[in-house]
A and B are shown apart, each in its own frame.
Chain A
Amino acid sequence: MFDFLTSGQYDVLGAFWVTVQLTLYSAVGSLVWGTVLAGMRVSPVPVMRAFGTAYVDIVRNIPLTVIIIGCSLGLNQTLGVTLGGGTFKEIGFRLAVLGFIAYTGTFVCEALRSGINTVPVGQAEAARALGLSFFQVLTMIVLPQAFRAVVAPLTNVLIALTKNTTVAAAIGVAEAALLMKEMIENEPQALFAVFGVFALGFVVLTLPTGLLLGWVAKRVAVKR
């Protein structure tokens, strides 16, 4: 029943490696972008606050599939954006990462904003009293404490991102879900075995993430 795994025809590990890469690049990117967005949303500049709010409210409500296909069909096929990639393989990967960052950043931003709310106002007021600027207050006093409070919610975002990477199959990025489609086309007799292998693959990817970061969350949380 599982002979499709040993036939050497399918590079299951390679496909999951692409999934891991997609996840890592997108995670780093959305952490940065989400932090910037959170900074905007709490900043004293009204225009930045408005932009942050509008961006988060709009982008997080667009289905991810629409964003990813829009990146590929709209940006690449119609407008000719390549993000410096030469082949469709590179272009597709980069566009997918771009789409995931744009989407996941909104969730990181909202998680972080809730973390900022856990920091007592007195902290920021004390920092202001010392003469620190808004940027200094945010990066030196507020955000370090906020991050420690939101490790657990960010873990959920990361796990969701890992699973969301399967959407990249829609624009031909050769990750796990695309290989699964290929295998279903070729191995109809082993349909459930194929599903099982890929389901297990994702559990193997996400379960340790959850356990590890859950432990980290407990270690670093600020006890108030």
Chain B
Amino acid sequence: MKVFKAGAAAAVAAVLALTATACGGSSDKASSDGGASGGAKDKIVIGIKFDQPGLGLKTPDGKFAGFDVDVATYVAKELGYQPDQIEFKQAVSAERENLLANGDVKLVVATYTINDKRKAKVDFAGPYFKAHQDLLVRADDTSITKAEDLNSKKLCSVTGSTSAQNVHDKLAPKADLQQYPGYSECLTGLENKAVDALTTDDSILAGYAAQEKNKGKFKLVGLKLSDEPYGIGLKKGDKDLQTKVNAALKKMVEDGSWQKAVEKNFGPANYKAEPAPQITEGS
């Protein structure tokens, strides 16, 4: 019995110690996240896509490349984090809100279109980029010039994505739509002529077309079928961070880094990005 009591006391002590350190850890993090004074502090966790060339891509050697990555790095720098203090975390579309709400990531820079339903759960800074839904076709294909042409075409998009829904709800209800989990599967079909076009945001398409192995095979049609203002997702109610991120984005456009990032990541696809959009969130 005595042994049991001693054991219980030890266990309680251990639990207390653990919770105490856990609290300490989280409050440390909170205080360092708040300030933008720079200097020594721990890491910032940013959610990006890992599978979208041109925007957010994890390369085989473990590095990250793309426009979202460049924006994230710049914003983090303005918040006082050096590139080696950034930890990128994969933020697949369905998980973005929860990652932010749970505090797993500080920012989400992952082709995150600003809309009202999402604003109910998270806040946005930006927009930092304006994309449009567009079509990717084989380079020698001239048969698609407007959205209605799709009604007689075979089309491919990503399962459940807004672009896919857009097509069968509004743009071309009669289009023969194939849905796959990723864009790479669609590219296989496009190359083999099993599908005629691939649809999603033009920025994502440009990233695929600009890839080394795809150069010259595909082209963008340039239809601007929708507006997709990309924002940086933040935890709901963090107005302070929102202001800082907005300021960082503004500075990025003004000092030319924004333009440079666009050219670097989308250039080879013959994709003409629009000038940086006006910041509308939180101001």
Interface residues of A (CB under 8 A from B): 69, 72-73, 76-78, 80, 87-89, 92, 169-172, 178-189, 191
Contacts and interface: CB of A to CB of B under 8 A. Distances in A.
| Centre residue among A180, A181, A183, A188 by max chain B CB count within 10 A | A188
A180 to B, nearest CB: 8
Contacts of B159: 169-170, 172, 178, 181-182
30 contacts: A72-B180, A73-B189, A77-B188, A77-B189, A77-B192, A77-B195, A78-B188, A87-B176, A88-B177, A88-B178, A89-B176, A92-B178, A169-B159, A170-B180, A171-B180, A172-B177, A172-B178, A172-B179, A172-B180, A178-B159, A179-B160, A181-B94, A182-B164, A184-B160, A185-B93, A186-B162, A189-B97, A189-B120, A189-B121, A191-B97
A73 B161 CA distance: 20
A170 B181 contact: yes
A78 B94 contact: no
Most chain A Cβ neighbours within 10 Å, of B96, B120, B185: B185
Contacts of A87: 176
A185 B162 contact: yes
Nearest to B168: A174
A88 B188 contact: no
A184 B94 contact: yes
B280 interface: no
Interface of B: 93-94, 96-98, 117-118, 120-121, 154, 159-162, 164-165, 176-181, 185, 188-189, 192, 194-195
A87 B194 CA distance: 11
A184 B94 CA distance: 6
A69 B177 contact: no
A178 B179 contact: yes
A221 to B, nearest CB: 43
A69 B192 contact: no
A88 B154 contact: yes
A67 to B, nearest CB: 15
A188 B117 contact: yes
A41 B28 CA distance: 66
Nearest to A177: B159
A76 B94 CA distance: 28
